[in-house]
């Protein structure tokens, strides 16, 4: 066991300019409606926005302008991304942790949580249970602990890819784990991961210090530069995020943009995805005290998602299904591209029916709908659930960027692949009711496609799926 990487932050500086962010937020107060419209148009013309422009949208808080921002986000989603929503599930591998993040149930000094790391056979049982639900795409989640070093992450990813139950298989594994050193990231990359996700939690240094009370994660700069090291190791599919509720959402949203610009400037590639989880209650944790000042209302949450959609039009936006159906469907319309479904966030809780599972959970889930129910609701709301992992397996990293940047990409690849993987799901896993709703949605999608060679090809492949072929892309 080689343990945790040695932290070395010599020469590192923060690329989040706090003062500049506050200045932009101050300078752009009470914006002119025409200026707001000009910024929305810039985004619809497929340009990433600058900090001054994002700050202007943040300050455009009259009901009329907020509605124009929402409509801008909807229009961008319609023009670029279509109706597809990619589904994934989190898989918690172990909740042992040496850090003391005040908001997290897994923190080292939380005596109420039951510690658990999946044994190899338990990991296999979890993956089988996820495959039985129909999942093809996972995000594996780890506490920060010497046990979960780069080699361990690599080995567990490999184990997951090897599990095949019935027609099930996991085709893409993403990672949410502590930042590694460059060699560690190289090791993890060699297991064939998709995205490596690290959330900064809060970009506000003072708040960061207050809530990270001990352990390697309390080093702001080591974490902030984590994705730079991942890039240096050759992982260019990166996920950034902020945990909302710790500090002012306006600042955090601006900081996510600065992080994006930093990656663009330094590596010529922005983040693949942006996440914006809101703080959830956690066992043994006083979340209310933590969010007293900065809890994010549903309305502001919608605003920040729409603003992020406009500001960084090329990234995937990830929403967890803990949000209410109504809010979620609205935000899907703004361009959220991925959601989790049927999630269970206790270690071992997909395969074990443990009434005390919540004691091994990082936080408490408000939404316990099954994947089947979520899929049915998505269809009823006019979305096409997708389990596509085609780009990743064709060696095309940064699929959201390609969807955005290459004219016709979504029509050529994403929509047909969404339909094919969804049809697989419907044939193999759906309940009768979901099957009916799903087939109706596929019909609607086909009707909207003009007659073409591509459509004939899709119809032909759909027939192959009905006859038992799988994984066509």
What is the footprint of ligand SAM within residues 124-183 (CB under 6 A)?
141-144, 176-178
Binds 363: which of ligand SAM, ligand SF4, none (CB < 5-8 Å by kind): ligand SAM
Q: Count the helix, strand and coil residues of the chain and give each as a percent rounded to the nearest 5.
A: 50, 10, 40
Angle at 134 between CA 131 and CA 140, to 5 degrees: 55
257 binds, among ligand SF4, ligand SAM, none (CB under 5 to 8 A by kind): none
Beta-ladder partners of 91: 140
- 372 C-beta neighbours (distance < 10 Å), count: 20
419 near ligand SAM, rule: CB under 6 A: no
Residue among 81 and 222 whose Cβ is closer to ligand SF4: 222
Residue 170: Cβ-neighbour burial (10 angstroms; 0-12, 13-18, 19+): buried
Specify the residue, 141 or 420, whose C-beta has the smaller distance to ligand SAM.
Answer: 141
Query: Would you state the structure tokens that stand for residue 6, as one six-digit string?
Result: 């040695």
Q: Is 445 in the site for ligand SAM (CB under 6 A)?
A: no
CA distances from 76 to 42, 307, 311 (A): 11, 11, 11
Partner in contact with 279, chosen from ligand SAM, ligand SF4, none, beta carbon below 5 to 8 Å by kind: ligand SAM
Local structure of 144: helix, strand or coil? coil
The pair of three-digit structure tokens given for residue 49, joined into one six-digit string: 């926005």
CB of 144 to ligand SAM, least distance (A): 5
Q: Which long-range contacts (CB under 8 A, 24 or more apart) does 392-399 make?
A: 392/171, 392/172, 392/194, 393/171, 393/172, 393/473, 394/473, 397/236, 397/237, 397/272, 398/236, 398/237, 398/269, 398/272
Interface pattern 332-371 for ligand SAM (x via CB under 6 A): ------------------------------xx--------
Q: How far is the CB of 398 from ligand SAM (least distance, A)?
A: 22
Residue 211 or 374: which CB sits closer to ligand SAM? 211
Choice between 274 and 391, CB closer to ligand SAM: 274
Decide whether 105 or 398 has the Cβ nearer to ligand SF4: 105
Q: Rounded to the nearest whole angstrom, what is the least distance from the CB of residue 142 to ligand SF4 in the complex?
A: 8
177 or 230: whose CB is closer to ligand SAM? 177
To ligand SAM, the closest distance from the beta carbon of 298 in angstroms equals 16
Question: What CA–CA distances, in Å, run from 308 to 7, 58, 107, 162, 321?
Answer: 32, 10, 30, 37, 19
Residues 194-233 binding ligand SAM (CB under 6 A) are 198-199, 201
Residue 107 binding: pick among ligand SF4, ligand SAM, none (C-beta 5-8 Å cut-off by kind): ligand SF4
Q: Pick from ligand SAM, ligand SF4, none: which does 57 bind, CB < 5 to 8 A by kind?
A: none
Q: Is 340 helix (H, G, I), strand (E, B) or coil?
A: strand
The CA-based diameter of the chain, rounded to the nearest angstrom, is 62
> Smallest distance from the beta carbon of 206 to ligand SF4, in angstroms?
18
104, 150, 193, 203, 276 from 200: Cα distances, Å = 14, 20, 20, 6, 11
Helix (H, G, I), strand (E, B) or coil at 277: coil
104 binds ligand SAM (CB under 6 A): yes
Task: Pick the closer one to ligand SF4 by CB: 53 or 144.
Answer: 144
Binding residues (CB under 6 A) for ligand SF4: these are 97, 99, 101, 104, 106-107, 143-144, 217
Q: How many residues bind ligand SAM (CB under 6 A)?
A: 20
Ranges of beta strands (E only) in 62-209 are 84-94, 137-142, 172-176, 196-197
Which range, of 71-79, 266-274, 279-287, 381-389, touches ligand SAM by CB under 6 A? 279-287
- The reply on whether position 279 binds ligand SAM by CB under 6 A is yes
Q: Which does 277 bind (CB under 5 to 8 A by kind): ligand SAM, ligand SF4, none?
A: ligand SAM
CB of 288 to ligand SAM, least distance (A): 12
- Cβ atoms 61, 82 nearer than 8 A: no
Residue 273 binding target from ligand SAM, ligand SF4, none, CB below 5 to 8 Å by type = none
Phi, psi of 176 (to 5 degrees): -125, 105
Nearest approach in angstroms of CB 414 to ligand SAM is: 28
Q: What size, in residues, is the chain?
A: 473
282 binds ligand SAM (CB under 6 A): yes
335 binds, among ligand SAM, ligand SF4, none (CB under 5 to 8 A by kind): none
- Using the minimum distance from each CB to ligand SF4, give the nearer residue, 84 or 223: 223
Please enumerate in sequence order all residues whose Cβ is within 8 A of that of 326, keeping only pairs 6 or more positions apart, or say none: none
- Three-state DSSP class for 62? coil
Q: How far apart are CA 96 and CA 51, in angstroms?
A: 38
**Pairwise CA distance, residues 248 & 167, whole Å:** 46
Write out the residues near ligand SAM by the rule CB under 6 A.
103-104, 106, 141-144, 176-178, 198-199, 201, 243, 277, 279-280, 282, 362-363
């Amino acid at each position: 066991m080689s343990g945790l990487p040695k932290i070395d932050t010599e020469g590192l500086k923060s690329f989040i300019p706090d003062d500049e962010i506050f200045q932009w937020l101050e300078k752009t107060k009470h914006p002119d409606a025409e200026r707001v419209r000009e910024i929305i148009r810039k985004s619809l013309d497929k340009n990433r926005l600058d900090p001054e422009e994002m700050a202007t949208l943040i300050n455009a808080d009259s009901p009329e302008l907020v509605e124009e921002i929402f409509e801008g986000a909807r229009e961008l989603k319609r023009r670029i991304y279509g109706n597809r929503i990619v589904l994934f599930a989190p898989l918690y591998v172990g909740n042992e942790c040496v850090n003391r993040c005040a908001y997290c149930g897994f923190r080292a000094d939380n005596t109420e949580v039951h510690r658990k790391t999946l044994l190899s056979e338990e990991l296999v049982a979890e993956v089988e249970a996820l495959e039985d639900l129909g999942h093809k795409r996972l995000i594996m989640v780890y506490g920060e602990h010497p046990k979960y070093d780069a080699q361990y992450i690599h080995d567990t990813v490999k184990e997951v890819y090897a599990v095949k139950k019935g027609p099930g298989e996991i085709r893409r594994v993403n990672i949410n784990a502590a930042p590694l050193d460059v060699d560690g990231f190289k090791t993890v990359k060699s297991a064939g991961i998709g995205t490596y996700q690290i959330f900064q939690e809060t970009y506000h240094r003072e708040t960061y210090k207050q809530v990270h009370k001990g352990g390697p994660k309390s080093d702001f700069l080591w974490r902030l530069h984590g994705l730079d090291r991942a890039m240096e190791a050759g992982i260019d599919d990166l996920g950034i995020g902020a945990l909302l509720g710790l500090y002012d959402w306006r600042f955090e949203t601006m900081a996510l943009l600065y992080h994006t610009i930093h990656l663009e400037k330094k590596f010529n590639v922005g983040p693949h995805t942006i996440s914006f989880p809101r703080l959830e209650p956690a066992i043994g944790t006083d979340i209310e005290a933590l969010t007293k000042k900065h809890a994010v209302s549903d309305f502001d949450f919608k605003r920040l998602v729409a603003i992020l959609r406009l500001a960084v039009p090329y990234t995937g936006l990830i929403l967890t299904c803990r949000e209410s159906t109504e809010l979620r469907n609205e935000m899907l319309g703004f361009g959220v591209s991925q959601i989790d479904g049927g999630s269970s966030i206790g270690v071992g809780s997909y395969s074990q029916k443990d009434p005390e599972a919540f004691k091994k959970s990082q936080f408490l889930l408000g939404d316990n709908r099954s994947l089947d129910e979520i899929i049915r609701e998505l269809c009823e709301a006019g979305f096409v659930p997708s389990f596509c992992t085609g780009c990743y397996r064709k060696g095309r990293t940064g699929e959201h960027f390609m969807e955005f940047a290459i004219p016709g990409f979504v029509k050529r690849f994403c929509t047909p692949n969404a339909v094919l993987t969804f049809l697989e799901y419907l044939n193999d896993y759906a309940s009768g009711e979901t099957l009916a709703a799903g087939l109706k949605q596929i019909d609607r999608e086909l009707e909207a496609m003009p007659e073409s060679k591509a459509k004939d090809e899709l119809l032909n492949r759909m027939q192959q799926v009905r006859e038992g072929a799988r994984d066509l892309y």
